[in-house]
A and B are shown apart, each in its own frame.
Chain A
Amino acid sequence: AQTVTQSQPEMSVQEAETVTLSCTYDTSESDYYLFWYKQPPSRQMILVIRQEAYKQQNATENRFSVNFQKAAKSFSLKISDSQLGDAAMYFCAYRSVRNLRSGNTPLVFGKGTRLSVIA
């Protein structure tokens, strides 16, 4: 079974600075997807960014980018120019495509990193 590890329970960053959240995962598969979700105090789960394992290019979405190291099974999230609205819980998640034909591909989540942004 796949596992996802987020080793930083809490992080903080100064407004306008850059912060990197770490995520490692364990899998024997070669084809999969990785995601970062943001959960603000409203509890809503918001997709931040996704990465396809077969793509070497790191995904970017505005101020959010990832450093995907497939051999090292590492998937870190970099937030540039941090804003107060970035304060939230961030979850790293893995989705296998092995069972995609059956559709049974639940996401596997890490334990989360709580990010605080200091004004």
Chain B
Amino acid sequence: SFELTQPPSVSASPGQTARITCSGDALSNQYAYWYQQKPGQAPVLVIYKDSERPPGIPERYSGSTSGTTVTLTISGVQAEDEADYYCQSADSSGTYVFGTGTTVTVL
């Protein structure tokens, strides 16, 4: 199976931009998805198919891709954005893999 690598932590002050990267060879030809998880809660999908935003997700969340790296950007970070974030993708056989996870801290 393949691997997806994320930085363990990212921090930003309120109003600044937080960027979380996710790297893996499979990302060059497979979509990436991003999930937000707050303590004691189930994950929430915030970006699908690299850059699409589900209904109800604030516009400050955006996704982009370049080669084997995808990036989740939170523009104008707010205190409520403090959470763990996971990328996820799948290979052509339908095997899913999650990234290692990134904790976003709002300073």
Do A and B make up one complex?
Answer: no
Q: Which residues of B contact A (CB under 8 A)?
A: none
Q: Which residues of A contact B (CB under 8 A)?
A: none
